[in-house]
A and B are shown apart, each in its own frame.
Chain A
Amino acid sequence: MTSATADVSHQVVDEKPAKVRRSDRARSEVRLGWLLAGPAFLVMVAVTVYPIIQAFFDSLYSYRLTAPADKHFVGLHNYQVVLTDSVWWKAFGVTTFITLVTVLVEVILGFALALVMHRAIKSFRGILRTVILVPYGIITVVSAFAWFYAFDINSGYINHWFDWVPGISPSLNWFAHQGTSLFVIMASEIWKTTPFISLLLLAGLAQVPGDLEEAAQVDGATWWQRMQRVVLPNMKAAIMVAVLFRALDAFRIFDNVFIMTNGANGTTVLSLLAYRTSIGRLEIGLGSAISVLLFLCVIGICFIAIKLFKVDLAAARGER
């Protein structure tokens, strides 16, 4: 490797300083690099870049799938319709609410689980991790149905098992009110994805040097002080990555809402709105505009997390 670098600099100095000419070897390495990464790059272009561009293009048209002849250019009119409609803003509010609540609860629960896994006796660790991971292994649609049937007024058992809890009775229809519907949707979401967060946080916990904690303990720091001053600052990157990943996922929530209420009682979220417009109404133009706006929201979340909270993705992976 050193000789190759020397080769290159030698040539650059000797021959044409203005134009960098690479040695056969360097060129062949670049080619190998492209050959190795190229297929993945092409796949990424085909499955993400192309659809995004196509969606943006479609969003500039009034285009209904069952009336292909009426397709015409409308510029940014679709965006204007979406952004001036209360339906969009209500869905935006509900989605943001679900994202904030679920991520907050998941981080707290996930951290507790991570601590338990971290501190567990070695012989239990494997089983414990498996048990905690089970909900995450279940397909979202399946878990959504399981929660739906558990809370269903006719076939569910929750109303009968928990009728001693104030407010719960056999005649409580969970999916007929906004508050109770959102509660079940979020509970199911939290149950299913907390294991994911706890795994990410466990990795963060493992990175905290044990001697730092010991030193703090020797200095007489309480458990809470050790958490606050030693453990948390040292795993900030892991926490922020976990929050970012979950926030992005939670903002795109679809399955639970689709299965449980299909948007009834003010539970429509942005993904469901995009689905209902593009797939249900077959209004490709308007639906694409919603999808593009949803995409911009997601980019916005990434931007806030990375720029404002300074999430360092490389640090979380242990590259730096």
Chain B
Amino acid sequence: MNRTGDDVRRRTRLLAVTTAVAVALPLAACASASGPPKLTWYINPDNGGQVEIAKRCTEAANGKYTIATEVLPRDAASQREQLARRLAAKDSSIDIMSLDPPFIPELAEPGFLAPIPDDVATKVTTDVVQGAIDGATWKNKLVTIPFWANTQLLWYRKSVAQQAGLDPSKDPVTWQQLMDAAKKENKYLGVQGAKAESLTVWINALIESAGGQIIKNPEASADDLQLGLESDAGRAAASIMGRIGREGLGGPGLPTADENATLTVFQGDKGSFMVNWPFVWSATQAAVSDGTLPKSLLDDIGWALYPQVDQGQKTRPPYGGINLGIGAFSNHVDLALDAAQCIVTPENQAYYFATNGNPPASTKAYDDPAVKKAFPMADVIRQSLEQAAPRPQTPYYNEVSTGLQETWHPPSSVNPDTTPKRSTDFITAVLRGEALL
């Protein structure tokens, strides 16, 4: 009995050792793989443009390195969550990452981004629109490399504008005019009222266009941040958003409308005016060439600068886009810097704009004939980028943005007399750690 037990035990032990070796061997094989260093570029989802650029830069590197891409989640907030968690755990697999500008201070402040050497900084900021440089800077130092810069335009159905007696391509229009036109023509305005980052984009653009700011001192610590919502600009923004919500000018889908939903409404029978990113042009073109939308729709679409809040006061359109950050814990920071400079060459930016609809940060790229052909509104985009206002640049951006979404949603509940104050009190309490979000 005992002998048999020992035998069984011996056999079991042998099996365990064999299994362990069998598991460990392939792992060891993985570790010893050789070849040029592989840089991993965490990209936001697009229409394949970044994968193609990674391929081009791998070829251009001539065996010095290869670039592999990893896709981040679809929305900006989830992209930030994943990168912040990985960087906090000192993930060395993050060499290059595509970053949404508002989240850059949060990653730069604790040193999650590798510093950009001065010579590289000079090189990557020459001939770049100012908005993109501002977005890539934290505490007067360039911490990321501008890749593409986004901005929203006013898109309109020429037929509706004509009936309402407006010509946004000639004279700048105001939100007041758009709301009156939509009401008169019984059409829907395309604005993003969903409880998401796009709502903050809209609020920020309205407040900035009215001459205000969401945060007066963005570089301050959490306890000392001062909000600028309780101002004439804040009230003007609240009054526009509240009217659109209460009078149903955004349609019944407004409280859940993100950029794509807004585009769907704009393309339909009730479409009139819409504020949205330039991707809508390539998306509509693709739909027309697929045959899902009529060609006449494309001819009916016009574009202009973002609407004004007050007649005559210069509008401050939203600024977005993607900058490239270099992971501070990467094993190949130098190579990653090289690769990032290859990615942002004007040729690559022009290619990215023409094929994926994401406007370049480089002013040179706008002169590319392919860009002019694919985007007849390229000049308006460039002008819009020069005027664009970034969202508040603070390490606590997530709290500020989510706090705004909590208090300014749904748009029909927004009241110029109460919302700015309620919002200020709430965000201040959250920043001091006295309230849940």
Residue from A171, A175, A265, A280 within 8 A of B402 (CB atoms): A280
Q: Is A281 an interface residue (CB 8 A)?
A: yes
Do B88 and A88 have beta carbons less than 8 Å apart? no
Q: Is A282 an interface residue (CB 8 A)?
A: yes
* A-B CB proximity, top 10 nearest: A176-B255, A264-B195, A171-B252, A87-B436, A65-B88, A153-B253, A85-B436, A173-B252, A175-B256, A154-B264
Residue with the greatest number of chain B CB neighbours at <10 A, chosen from A171, A175, A176, A282: A176
Q: Are A67 and B109 in contact (CB under 8 A)?
A: yes
| Interface size class, chain A | 35 or more
Smallest CB–CB gap between A169 and chain B, Å? 9
List the interface of chain A (C-beta within 8 A of B): 28, 62, 65-69, 81-82, 85, 87-88, 152-155, 171-173, 175-176, 261-265, 273, 276-277, 279-283, 286, 290
Option from B254, B265, B402, B436 in Cβ contact (under 8 Å) with A273: B436
Q: Is B382 an interface residue (CB 8 A)?
A: no
Q: Mark B176-207, 1 if CB is under 8 A from A, else 0.
A: 00000000000000000011100000000000
Whole-angstrom CA separation of A245 from B264 in the bound complex: 42
Query: Nearest-CB distance from B283 to chain A (Å)?
Result: 14
Q: Which residues of B contact A152 (CB under 8 A)?
A: 256
Tell me whether B81 is interfacial, beta carbon within 8 Å: yes
Q: Told that A66-B88, A262-B195 touch, could you supply 18 new A-B pairs with CB distance under 8 A?
A: A62-B433, A65-B84, A66-B112, A67-B395, A69-B110, A85-B436, A153-B253, A154-B253, A154-B265, A173-B252, A173-B254, A173-B255, A175-B256, A264-B256, A264-B409, A277-B436, A282-B88, A286-B436
**Inside 8 A of A154's CB, which chain B residues have their CB?**
253, 261, 264-265
Contact B395 A176 (CB under 8 A): no
Q: Is the CB of B256 within 8 A of A81?
A: no
Rounded to whole angstroms, the CA-CA distance of A262 and B435 in the bound complex is 19
Query: Per-residue CB proximity of B104-141 to A under 8 Å, as 1/0?
Result: 00110110100000000000000000000000000000
Asked if B434 lies at the interface with its beta carbon under 8 angstroms from chain A, I say yes
Question: Does B437 have its Cβ within 8 Å of any Cβ on chain A?
Answer: yes
Query: When the two chains form their complex, are residues B437 and A66 in contact, meaning their CB atoms are under 8 A apart?
Result: no
List the B side residues contacting A261 at CB < 8 Å. Answer: 195
Q: How many CB-defined contacts (below 8 Å) exist between A and B?
A: 91
When the two chains form their complex, are residues B255 and A265 in contact, meaning their CB atoms are under 8 A apart? yes
Separation of A109 and B304 alpha carbons in the complex (Å)? 56
Proximity bits, B401-433, A CB within 8 Å = 1, else 0 = 010000001100000000000000000000001
CA distance A175 to B252 in the complex (A): 10
In the complex, whether B3 has a CB less than 8 A from a CB of chain A is no
Q: Judge whether A153 and B256 touch: CB under 8 Å.
A: yes
Q: When chains A and B are docked, how far (Å) is the Cα of A154 from the Cα of B261?
A: 7
Task: Indicate if the CB atoms of A264 and B436 lie closer than 8 Å.
Answer: no
Distance in angstroms from B251 CB to nearest chain A CB is: 8
Give every chain A residue within 8 A of B410 (Cβ-Cβ). 176, 264-265
Q: Are the C-beta atoms of A176 and B252 separated by less than 8 Å?
A: yes
CA distance A263 to B81 in the complex (A): 17
Q: Are B5 and A28 in contact (CB under 8 A)?
A: yes
Distance of A81 Cα from B429 Cα, bound (Å): 11
Once the chains are docked, how many angstroms separate the CA of A152 from the CA of B258?
12
Tell yes or no: B85 within 8 A of A by CB. yes
Which residues from B are CB-within-8-Å of A280? 77, 81, 398, 402, 437
Expressed in whole angstroms, the minimum distance between the Cβ of B187 and any Cβ of chain A is 14
Distance in Å from the Cβ of A175 to the closest Cβ of chain B?
Answer: 5
Q: Is B347 an interface position by the 8 A CB rule? A: no
Which residues in B have their C-beta under 8 angstroms from that of A171?
Answer: 251-252
Q: Which of A28, A82, A262 contacts B436 (CB 8 A)?
A: A82
Chain B residues with CB under 8 Å of A262's CB are 195-196
B399 contacts A by Cβ under 8 Å? yes
List the B side residues contacting A263 at CB < 8 Å: 195
CA distance A85 to B430 in the complex (A): 11
B409, closest chain A residue (CB): A264
CB pair B109 A173 closer than 8 Å: no
Bound Cα distance A312, B433 (Å): 44
Chain B positions within 8 Å of A281 at CB level: 398-399, 402, 437
Q: Residue on B with the closest CB to A171? A: B252
In the complex, which residues of chain A have a beta carbon less than 8 angstroms from the beta carbon of B433? 62, 81, 283, 286
Q: What is the minimal beta-carbon distance from A90 to any residue of chain B, in angstroms? A: 10
- How distant is the Cα of A89 from the Cα of B111 in the complex, in angstroms? 37
Assuming A28-B5, A153-B256, A176-B410, is B435 touching A85 (CB within 8 A)?
A: yes
Is B85 in contact with A65, judged by CB distance below 8 angstroms? Answer: yes
**Residue among B77, B195, B409 facing the most chain A CB atoms (10 A cut-off):** B195
Identify which of A67, A85, A264, A279 contacts B110 (C-beta below 8 A). A67
Q: Name the A residues within 8 Å of B85 (CB-CB).
A: 65, 279, 282
Tell me the bound Cα distance from A146 to B409 in angstroms: 25
A284 nearest CB across to chain B (Å): 9
Nearest CB of B to A270, in Å: 11
Taken residue by residue from 259 to 277, chain B's Cβ proximity to chain A (1 for < 8 Å, 0 otherwise) reads as 0010011000000000000
Contact A279 to B81, CB < 8 A, known contacts A173-B252, A175-B256, A176-B410: yes
